[in-house]
Amino acid sequence: MEDSIFTKIVKGEIPCQKVYEDENILAFLDIRPIQPGHILVVPKLQVQFVWDLPDDIYAQLMAVTKKLALHMREQLPQKYIHEAVVGLDVPHAHVHLIPFNESSELRKDPSEIVQASDESLKAMAKKLTLDV
């Protein structure tokens, strides 16, 4: 399988604003966030579908996702954190964490989603980084 964009990020070939990393999982800010603070949680092992992950890595992915969601709730003003496993855009298992207050904030037209500035991503990463 050809390396996905997420595998290239894991390998350090493409930069990202990391908010969490351990031996099996990497979490970073989405550069085209649905809402500011939108995080992608990815296993370092490239498989297309979350349910194809080995059980131990799947469990670790979900545990890290929960930790990050709870941390986001403490650090951000939004009341809710949306968790989604979609998998249509990148053929590499991943979980989206998106802060929001109203469900309408999750339904943006793709033309409304723009690339975040480096400055805003760095500031958000500083706020959301979770040490292992």
Q: Where do runs of H (alpha helix) occur along 24-116?
A: 55-75
Cα–Cα separations (whole angstroms), residue 13 to 5, 10, 48: 9, 8, 20
Instruction: Say what percent of the chain tops pLDDT 70.
Output: 100
In this model, does residue 87 exceed pLDDT 90?
no
pLDDT in tens, 8-30: 999 999 999 999 999 999 999 99
> Active-site residue among 38, 71, 94, 96?
94
Model pLDDT for residues 27-71, shown as the tens digit of each residue: 999 999 999 999 999 999 999 999 999 999 999 999 999 999 999
Residue 94 among the catalytic residues: yes
The confidence score (pLDDT) of residue 109 equals: 84
- CA distances 41 to 85, 102, 104, 109, Å, are 10, 23, 23, 23
